[in-house]
Every structure is written in structure tokens, then in C-alpha cells.
Structure 1
Amino acid sequence: MAVFVALGAFLMTLFGGWTARRVTDRRHLVLGLAGGLMLGVVGLDLLPEAIHAAGEDFLGVPRALLLFVGGFLAAHLVERLLAVRQAAHQDGRVPQVGLTAAAAMVGHSLMDGVALGAAFQVGGGMGTAVALAVIAHDFADGFNTYTITSLYGNDRRRALAMLVADALAPVLGAASTLLFTLPEELLGGYLGFFGGVLLYLAAAEILPEAHHDHPARSTLLCTVLGVGFIWLVVGVAG
């Protein structure tokens, strides 16, 4: 089931790359909705489940929350390191910088697939919620992978190759979970860490990008609708 759902992420990533080539004026609404879906999944479903599964506290704090903060900080650190490297070559348009950044996004998409498979090991409700978040934000992944590869002077062939690699990554990640079953405590810790990464992407990347050129009420409404939809999914699944 997880691999089948990951095919949706594959298609959404390709759609994001296609949109990057033919930017439309409605992209901000899609990104606003994606940010709301991700926020809803993390706060309303993924984090509570991770706290429940991760077991005992560590120094008075639930292990899942510690890993949640660690995931947020790790995503922030990676983003900052890439930003510094990109800034150092901003005028030179060094192709390797764009490829490095795109490769980092491919690695992240691979972890998306692993998280998707792990979520379905918990249960169908958790798997559905995480699937919605992964598929929603893979639009932005595809858009950014194609854009950043091209931005640093790589030709269309390389940009498309990185886009396809990013699209295949969640499918491979989900397929890998067919080979093993994570212990409940380890699964809870991983989902906590992944939740921190997901929240960072929503708060620091997707939502600011959604409002950058279109600070409209319709974009904010899409974000609220995304959160509300996840609340509905959690309620029905529960």
C-alpha cells in the first residue's frame, strides 16, 4: 500500500517540475494548501502518535519531542549550509552548487518514502495522513529541484534528470520498508524526527514562498483549509 501511495508523490513531484517550467499565477494557492496539510499532519496526527509510540521520557522530556526538535534543527542546519554555499557562488553560477542542492532534496525525498512506509506500519489512518503531507509537499520539492538545478547554469537535461531522481526517491524509500519492520519505540522516534523536518519545511520554506509574491487572503484560506482537512481525516480515522 505504501509503495502504491508513493506513486502519487512521484506524479506530484513531476507536476511540480512541470509547473516550474510553466509557472502559473495559481501556484501560491497550491503551496498555501500544501503548507496547511503539512502543519495539520505534524501537529494533529504525527506528533501525538510519535509521543505515544516512542516510550519513556528522557531527562523529563518525551523522547519523541526531543527528536522532533532535533529534526527541526537538522533541517535548519542543512538549509543554512546550502544557503551559505549558494551565496558564495551567487555571481559565478557554478553548476555543481545547483546539483548539490538538488541532490540534498533527493535525499530528503528518499526519507519521505521511508516515513511513509513506517507510517503505514503504524496503521492505515497514520499512513493516510502522512501520505497527504508527503504528496502535498512533493509539489514544492519538484518545483524547487528543477528551479535550483537550472538556476546555477545546468542545462535542461540535467535539470530533468534531477527532477526524475527526486520523483523516484519516495517510491524507493517506501519500497525499502517492505524489507523490515521498525520496533515501536524506534518508529515513534523516527516519526518525531521526521515531524520536526516536516514542520521546518512548512514554516521556513513552503508558506513563506506561498506568500512571497501573493500575500492574499485566498492563500491564507487555503492554508487553513489544509489544516482543517487533516483534522477531519484524523477524526474519521480515529
Structure 2
Amino acid sequence: MVAAPVLIAAGATATTLLGGWVAHHVGDRRHLVLGLTAGLMLGIVGFDLLPEALETNETEAFGVPVPLLLFIGGFHVLHIMERCVAIHRAHEEEYGPHSHPFSPPHHHDHAASGPVHGLGIAAAGALVGHSFLDGFAIGAATQTGGTTGTVVAIAVISHDFADGFNTFTITQLYGHDRRRGVALVAADAAAPLAGASVTLAFTISEHILSIFLGFFAGFLLYLATSDILPEAHSPHPTRATLLFTIAGVAFTWLVIGLAS
């Protein structure tokens, strides 16, 4: 019998593949999905992950709860990781003469550059590693019981659509052919299953779990505010996108309220 975390991670695999498919075939109206995704993630961070982490771990370090320190740490770790592989080097393009890895490839002329060609692999590889952590988070949150496992699953499954979309788009932007883009999307889709499977081998203590939840909350906040929301609003700064974000927050509140 397949364990619950692996079954849930299979949902993340499906949305990752869907995101890759949309990037290849559609490429438009994704702003509504991304806006909803960001709202779900913001609600999960504020309404469930941080309260759960603070409730189960009251340890302080120099006057600050340890889960909150890890929350800030998680935010900055992902920020540093993405800067190192230049995933975000192109967000500035919307405000100046730079390049945006999430914009259509024909706006750029990086394909012939060897170093930039390798950068596409590095950037996509970072997304694959992030997806592995998503799967691990599903398995860890499932061990807590209650609503945390449910809301983490919602967060991961919904935002992995953006992961699949971005993995394919990045590889195309930096000069890789369609076959390599599809292969990297497949790796990104398999990563949550691998991460969830790892957690089946051991039980995570409540103390360690609270620290991880705080750390993962920082990850989600960074993804929602620095990655997904800018991408949702840059091509289509519409009221509908904002309404979908608010709807995502409200839906998370509803799920947690009904489950508690």
C-alpha cells in the first residue's frame, strides 16, 4: 500500500507536469493561477505554519522565538540560492534594460552564450532541488496530524504548477532545446515523490518539526512575494489577478477554520 505522503506528493507531480505543459502550449492566462497560488501560500504561512511552529516550540534565542528565527532564515536561504544561480536576474528587466527568465525567449539573445547556456541548467536544477524539499515538507507535515498536513499539501500542490512552468521556461530561455526542457520538467515532477519517500524512513520529533515548519514558512513567503506574485502581475496587472490572490487567502482561512 502506498503511504499517504507519497500519494499527496503525486498531486504535486501532476501539477508540475501541468505547469510544464502550459508553458509549452499556452503561456497566457497563467497570471490568474499564479495569483491564486500566491494567495494560498500567504494564507498557509500566516494561518497555519507559523502558529503551529510557535505553539509546539516556545524556545527563545536572545528574546526571539526559535521558529521565527528559522522563518527569517528560510526566507534568506532561498533568496541567496536564487541570487547565486541568477534565477531572478531578469525580474529587473521589467524596470530596466536587463533580461527576464520568465519572459518569452524571443526577447533575448542569450542562446549563443556558453556560460548563460549552463546557467539555464543551474537555475532549473535549483528548482528541482526546491521541489525535493517540497516533498519532504509534505512528509514532515503529515507526521504532525491535524490541519498542517492538509494545508502544506495545498501549498505544495498549487505552487508546483509555477515550478513546472518556470522550469520549462528557463531552459528554453537559455538556449536549450525542447527535449532538454521536457527532461528537466520530468525531473522536477519526480522530485516531490523522492522527498516524501525519504520521510517514510524515520519519525521527526516535535521539536525538530516545529523548527522545520518555521523554516519552510520562510521558503513559502519568499516564493509567494518575490517569485510568484511579481510573475503574476508583470504581464497582466489586472484586478482579476488581485482578486484571485485574495480568494486564495480566504480559501486557506476557510479550510483551516473547517478543519479545526
Q: Percent identity?
A: 58
Distance 1:74 1:116 in 2: 19
1:121–1:2 CA distance, 2 compared to 1 (3 A): same
CA distance in 1 between partners of 2:35 and 2:258 (Å): 24
1:15 is the counterpart of 2:18: yes
Relative to structure 1, the CA distance from residue 41 to residue 85 in structure 2 (aligned partners, 3 Å threshold; closer, same or farther) is closer
Contact 1:86 1:97 in 2 (8 A): no
Which residue of structure 1 lines up, in the alignment, with residue 63 of structure 2?
Answer: 60
Tell me the amino acid that sits aligned with residue 194 of structure 1.
F
Distance 1:86 1:159 in 2: 20
- Which segment is superposed worse, 89-98 or 106-115? 89-98
Query: What's the CA shift for 1:200?
Result: 0.2
User: C-alpha displacement at 1:51, in angstroms?
Assistant: 1.3
Separation in 1 of the partners of 2:146 and 2:58?
A: 21
TM-score, structure 1 length as denominator? 0.95
Q: CA deviation at 1:24?
A: 4.4
Q: Could you tell me which runs of 5 or more consecutive residues in structure 1 were left unpaired when the two chains were aligned.
A: none
Q: Which residue of 2 aligns with 1:200?
A: 222
2:182 to 140, 160, 166: 160
Q: Please give the alpha-carbon distance, in whole angstroms, between the structure 2 residues aligned to 1:100 and 1:193.
A: 23
Say which of 68, 72, 87 aligns to 1:69. Answer: 72
Q: Single out whichever of 50-59 and 63-72 deviates more from structure 2.
A: 50-59
Which TM-score applies when normalising by structure 2? 0.87
Equivalent position to 1:171, from 193, 196, 201:
193
Q: Output the CA distance in 2 between the equivalents of 1:95 and 1:194.
A: 30
Q: How does 1:1-238 map to 2 (within 5 A)?
A: 1-83=4-86, 91=110, 92=113, 94-238=116-260
For the 8 Å contact 2:22–2:165, the answer to whether it is kept is: yes
* CA distance 1:126–1:85, change in 2 (3 Å): closer
Between the aligned partners of 2:217 and 2:231, the Cα distance in structure 1 is 20
Q: How many equivalent residue pairs? A: 238
Hey, what's the Cα distance between the residues in 1 that align with 2:13 and 2:204?
24
Deviates more, 1:62-71 or 1:172-181: 172-181
- CA distance in structure 2 between the aligned counterparts of 1:121 and 1:215, rounded to whole angstroms: 39
Shift of 1:237: 1.3
C-alpha displacement of 1:86: 6.2
Q: Aligned equivalents of 1:131 and 1:155: distance in 2? A: 32
Aligned amino acid, residue 73 of structure 1: H
**Residues 127 and 167, structure 2, Cα contact 8 Å, conserved in 1:** yes
Q: Which moved more, 1:55-64 or 1:225-234?
A: 55-64
Distance 2:160 2:188 in 1: 9
